[in-house]
A and B are shown apart, each in its own frame.
Chain A
Amino acid sequence: MTQLNDAVEILLVEDTPADAELTIRALKKNCLINNLVWVKDGAEALDFVFATGAYAGRDSSHQPRVVLLDLRLPRISGIEVLRRLKQDERTQSIPVVVLTSSKEDVDVEECYRLGVNSYITKPVAFDEFVRVVGELGLYWLLLNKIPNE
C-alpha cells in the first residue's frame, strides 16, 4: 500500500483489521490517504517512530504528520505509546489523535494528561465515522502545520 521510504503522512495504529479498513476507507472518502502506514500494535508503532526493531533502517527524521492511535492494543497499550511519544523530545511534537471505541472518562482524562492532541470516539454508524475522520484529517493534515516543517 505505502512505501517505507516515502514521506509518511499518517501512522495508523490499529489491531482490529475491520476497524483499520473502515478507518482507511473513511480517510479515502475524504481524499486523505497519502502515505498511510498501518501498524498492528503498540510495540510496532514505537519501533516505527523510533526506527527500531523491524523499522531499524527507517529514516527517523521523516516522522508522520499525524498518528491515529487506538487505545486497546496488544503488547504495548495505546496509553503507553502515547506516553512514550509525548515524553520523548524527538516525537513529542507529532500530533497524536486517539481513535477509540471507549467513552471511558478515565481514558480521556489520562490521554489529555499525557498530551494527546485530539480524542475521537469512533461512532458505530459508518457515515458518522466517515464525517468525524474527515474532520480530523482536514485539521491535522491540511490546516495544522507541524513546527519543524
Chain B
Amino acid sequence: MTQPMSGSAIAYPAKSATSSVWFVRWMMAGLVLINLFVFGMVTFSLYQSYDESQQGAELTAQNLSSLLAQHIAGDIDRIDLTLLAAADEVERQLAGGGIDRQALNRFLERQQRRLPEIFSLRTTDAHGIVSHGVGVNPAARQDNSDREYFVRQRYDPKVGLVIARPVYTRLDKRWAVPVSRPFHLPDGTFGGVIYANVSVDHLISTLAAIDVGRRGSASLRNAELRIFARTPVPAHADKVIGEKLAVPELQELIRSDRDAGSYISSHTVDGVERKFAVRKVTGFPLYVVVGRATDEYLAQWKDQATKTALLAALFFLATLVSSWLIYRNWKHQLAATLDLAREEEKFHTVADYTYDWEYWEGPAREMLYMSPSCERVTGYSRAEFLAEPDLIYRIIHPDDQHQMAGHRTDAAHRDDAGVDFRIVRRDGEIRWIAHGCSAVFGRDGQFMGRRANNRDITERVQAEATVRQLNAELEQRVASRTAQLEAANKEIEDFSYSISHDLRTPLRAIAGFAQILVEEHAASLDSEGRRLLDVVHANTVRMGRLIDELLEFLRLGRRPMDFGPVDVAQLVQEIFDELQATVPDRKLRLDLKTPPPLWGDRTMIRRLLSNLLSNAVKFTQPRALAVIEVGGRIEGNLARYYVKDNGVGFDMRYVDKLFQVFERVHPVGQFEGSGTGLAMVKRIVGRHGGSVSAEGQVDVGATISFTLPAREMENDPTQ
C-alpha cells in the first residue's frame, strides 16, 4: 500500500508547546516593560513635584524671612532714632546746666508711647544706676551695671547701638531685649546709657504675624545665635529665650558670613523637621530664621504621591489581570485551534488511510478530495487526479464508458447510485471497479457534489468468472453423466423387456405343452410320467414368478419417486391384517410400538413394509404363536424403524447375503420365496437415502432395521 501524504501535521503538540512558551515570554516582557515605563513616569513626575514642593517651600521661607527681616530692621531703626533723640535730649540738658528730671521723664514717656514695640525707655547713669524713665524711682537706686548693654556701652565707647541678649527685667518683670545707646557728659566722658526694652512678646507677635504653617517656625537670633524670640513659643520659654540653641547647619551658615541661606534640619527645639531660610536683618547683627515643616509643605505632594502610587498600583494590577485574561483567552483559542487541527487530522487520517479509492467530486465536477489509495488502484497519483478532474472518467475502459454515462444520468436523479466498470491502469492493466456514490448535502441542504467509493473488485470478478466456468463445466459433466445414466437405464429397460418377452415366451410354451400333454395324453403316461410332468409344471410356474419379481425389482430402480407423509403405524396394521387373512389358521400377534410417520414414496414404503412383514410371517411358520414387533423412533436427523419376529432367525455369518437378489439363507423348498424380498427392501431404503441392517439368531428370531432421513419431513413437508 502507498504511504499517504507525508508532511501531515502530526507535530501539533510540540509546536503548541513552543508557541505557548514564546507567547508567555513575550507577554511577560511586555507586562514588565509597560509597568517599568509607568513606574518610571510616576517616579519622575513625583520627583519633579517633590522638587517643586521643596523649592516652593524654600522660596516661601526665604520670602517670609526677608519680610520679617525688613520689618524688624524698620522697628529697630525707629527705636534707634528714638534712642538717638533721647541721647541728644539728655546731652542737651546736661549741657544746659543739668538734667531737668521731670522734663526728661516726660520726654522719655512721650517717646516710649510712640513706640509700641518697647515697654520702657530709660537711662542709667555712668555707674549703671537706673536714673530716668517711666516708673523709675531714683531713690530705689536700681543697679543695672551688670547688664550686658551697660557693660558693653561703658567699656566700649565706640560700640554705638547695642542690641543685647534678652533679659528678664527687674523692674517690669518681663522678657525684653534691651536696645541701648550711650550718652556723654559735656566733657565728652561717658555719662550713661539710654536703653529701650523691646518686648519679647511684641517680637513674638511680629514673628507670628506671618503664616509659616501650623508646624512651621520663625525665630529671631543675634550673631551669637541666641534666640531672641520664637514662634511658636516653646513650652519652657525660660530655657530657650536668650540661649544659644542652634543646629550645626545654621552655625555653619552664619560662620560663612552670608546674609541669606537655607537648610533642612530635624534637630530643632521641638524636634520637627523643617526647611529653614535664614536672613540677616540689614544693618544689625540679627538673623531671622523661618522654618517650614517638611511634612506640612510636603503634605500635598505626599497626598498626590499616594494617589499616584495607588493609581500606578491599580494600573499594575489591571495590566496583570488583563495579561492573565489575554493569556487565558489565547490559551483557549490555542486549545480550540489545536482541537480543530486534531479533528481535521483525525478525519484526514480516516480518509487518507482508506483501502478503497475514495473521492469527493464538487457540484461543478471539481475534485475536492481523493484518497491516496487511488495510486494503488489506478497507478495515477492523487495530484494528477486533482489537477485533471476528467482523468477519472478518461481511464474508464472504452467499452464501459456508456456504463458510466448511464450511471451519471442515473445519479442525477438519485441520492445513492452504483455501477461496475473496468478501468485501464497507467501500466495498461485492466481492473474491475465497483463504483458507489452518494449525493452530499450541506447543513442548509445545499448540494455539495457526490462522495464516491471505488472498490477494486478484479479478484472477485475473476473468481466469479472462474466459478461460472466451473459451474458450466460441472453442468456439462452432469449432462454427460445424465446422458450416460439414461443410456444405462435404457439398456436396463431393454434388458427387462427382453426378459419379460423372450424368457416368458419359451417358458409359456413349456408350461402350455406340458399341460396339454397331461390333459390330452394322460392315458399314454404312467404315474411316474405324470409326476415328472407335474414337476415341470411347478418349475415353470416358479420361474414365471421369478421373472415377474426380477422385473418388479428392476422397475423399482427406475420408477420416479412420489414423496409424501406416510403413517407407518396405520400401514403396518393394514398389511398385517391382509397377511393374517391369507393364513387364517395361524396365530399371529402384531406388537405395534407406535412408530413415527415418515416422509417417502407411499407405494414403495408399502412394498417395503409388506416384504418385511410377509418375511416375518413366513419365517415364524414353525411357531405356535408368531409375535411380530414393529417400532421406530427419531434419532437426531434419522428415523429408525425395525421389524422383529420370533421366527427361525438366521446365522449371522450369512448376514451379507441377506439383502442380495436371489440369495437365500434357507434352502429352497423350506420356505416359499424367490430371494428378492430383502433385496427389494434394500433398494427401496436406498432410494430414500437410508440404510438397512439385520440382526438374527438361529431359532430365536430376526430383526430387520432401516433408517430414513427424518430431516426432509421436517424441512419440506409439502413436497
Spell out A's residues near B (CB within 8 Å).
Answer: 16, 18-19, 22, 25, 72, 100-106, 122-127, 129
Does B222 lie at the interface of the complex (its beta carbon under 8 Å from any beta carbon of A)?
no
- Inside 8 A of A72's CB, which chain B residues have their CB? 501
* Contact of B505 (CB < 8 Å), options: A101, A126, A129: A101
What residues on A are CB-neighbors of B508 within 8 Å? 18-19, 22, 101, 122-124, 126, 129
Given A16-B505, A122-B508, A104 and B497 touching (CB < 8 A)? yes
User: Contacts A101-B500, A102-B501, A124-B504 given: A19-B544 contact, CB under 8 Å?
Assistant: no
Q: Determine whether the beta carbon of A124 is less than 8 Å from that of B497.
A: no
On whether A102 and B512 interact (CB within 8 A), knowing A124-B504, A124-B540, A124-B541, the answer reads no
Of the residues A101, A103, A127, contact of B515 by C-beta under 8 Å:
A127
18 pairs across A/B with beta carbons < 8 Å?
A16-B505, A16-B509, A18-B509, A22-B509, A22-B513, A101-B504, A104-B497, A104-B500, A105-B555, A106-B493, A124-B507, A124-B541, A125-B511, A125-B515, A125-B540, A125-B544, A126-B512, A126-B515
Name the one of B513, B515, B543, B551 contacting A18, with C-beta atoms under 8 angstroms.
Answer: B513
A40–B436 Cα distance when bound, in Å, is: 80
The yes or no answer to B16 lying at the interface (CB within 8 A) is: no
The answer to whether B511 touches A126, judged by C-beta atoms less than 8 angstroms apart, is yes
Query: With A124-B507, A124-B541 in contact, do A103 and B548 touch (Cβ < 8 Å)?
Result: yes
Q: Inter-chain contact count A-B, CB under 8 Å?
A: 64
Q: Determine the chain B residues whose CB is within 8 A of the CB of A22 once the complex forms.
A: 508-509, 512-513
Question: What CA separation (Å) do A22 and B505 show in the bound complex?
Answer: 11
Instruction: Please report the C-alpha to C-alpha distance between residue A25 and residue B509 in the assembled complex, in whole angstroms.
Output: 12
Q: Which B residues lie within 8 Å of A16 (CB)? A: 505, 509
A83 CB, min distance to chain B CBs, angstroms: 19
Is B516 positioned at the interface, with any CB of A under 8 Å from its CB?
yes
Minimum-distance CB pairs A-B, first 6? A124-B544, A18-B509, A126-B515, A126-B512, A101-B504, A22-B512
Measured between beta carbons, the chain B residues less than 8 angstroms from A105 are 555
Chain B residues contacting A125 (CB-CB under 8 Å) are 511, 515, 537, 540-541, 544
Q: Which residues of chain B (457-512) have a CB below 8 Å from chain A?
A: 493, 496-497, 500-502, 504-509, 511-512
Contact B544 A100 (CB under 8 A): no
Report chain A residues within 8 Å CB of B555: 105
Chain A residue with Cβ nearest B509: A18
Among the interface residues B500, B505, B509, B512, which one has the most CB atoms of the partner chain A within 10 A? B512
Mask of B525-569 contacts with A, CB within 8 angstroms, 1/0:
000000000000100110110001001000100000000000000
**Chain A residues with Cβ under 8 A from B544's Cβ?**
123-125
Contacts of A101 in B (CB 8 A): 500-502, 504-505, 508
Nearest CB in chain A: distance from B496 CB, A:
7
What is the CA–CA distance of A103 and B541 in the complex, to the nearest angstrom?
A: 16
Cβ contact within 8 Å between B500 and A103: yes
Number of interface residues of B (CB under 8 A): 26
- Given A100-B501, A103-B500, A124-B540, answer yes or no on A18-B548 (Cβ-Cβ < 8 Å): no
CB atoms of B496 and A104 under 8 A apart: yes
Additional pairs, 11, CB under 8 Å, beyond known A102-B500, A125-B511, A129-B512: A19-B505, A19-B508, A22-B513, A102-B497, A123-B508, A124-B507, A124-B544, A126-B508, A126-B511, A126-B516, A127-B515
| Minimal beta-carbon separation of B62 from chain A (angstroms) | 160
Chain B residue, CB-CB nearest to A101: B504
Inter-chain CA distance A146–B363, complex, in Å, is 92
Bound CA span A125–B543, Å: 11
Q: Once bound together, how far apart are the Cα atoms of A18 and B537, in whole Å?
A: 16
Cβ–Cβ < 8 Å partners of B548 in chain A = 103
Chain B neighbourhood of A18, CB < 8 A:
505-506, 508-509, 512-513
| A25–B504 CA distance with the chains assembled, in angstroms | 18
Closest A residue to B514 using CB positions: A126
In whole angstroms, how far apart are the Cα atoms of A105 and B500 in the complex? 12
Instruction: Give the distance in Å from the alpha carbon of A19 to the alpha carbon of B501 in the complex.
Output: 12
**Nearest A residue to B537, CB-CB:** A125
Residues of chain A lying within 8 A (CB to CB) of residue B540: 124-125
A122 / chain B contacts, CB cutoff of 8 Å: 504, 508
A122 and chain B: residue at smallest CB distance: B508
How far, in Å, is B520 (CB) from chain A's closest CB? Answer: 9
Min CB distance A58 to B, Å, is 29
Q: For the complex, what is the distance from the CA of A54 to the CA of B547, rounded to whole Å?
A: 39
Give the residue among A102, A123, A124 with the most B Cβ atoms within 10 A. Answer: A124
| A25 to B22 Cα, complex, angstroms | 134
A6 nearest CB across to chain B (Å):
27
Contact residues in A for B493 (Cβ distance below 8 Å): 104, 106
CA–CA, A122 and B509, complex, Å: 11
Give, as a whole number of angstroms, the nearest-CB distance from B510 to chain A. 9
Q: Once bound together, how far apart are the Cα atoms of A123 and B545, in whole Å?
A: 10
Query: Which A residues touch B541, using CB under 8 A?
Result: 124-125
User: What are the residues of chain B within 8 A of A102 when measuring CB–CB?
Assistant: 497, 500-501
| Cβ distance B696 to chain A, nearest Cβ, rounded Å | 34
A72 to B543 CA separation, bound complex (whole angstroms)? 21
In Å, the complex CA distance between A63 and B373 comes to 94
Please report the C-alpha to C-alpha distance between residue A103 and residue B501 in the assembled complex, in whole angstroms: 8
A18→B541 CA distance, assembly (Å):
17
CA distance A103 to B555 in the complex (A): 11
Q: Cβ of B551: which chain A residues have Cβ within 8 Å of it?
A: 103
Q: How far is the CB of A107 from chain B (nearest CB, A)?
A: 8
Q: Residue-by-residue, is B74-118 near A (CB-CB < 8 Å gives 1, otherwise 0)?
A: 000000000000000000000000000000000000000000000
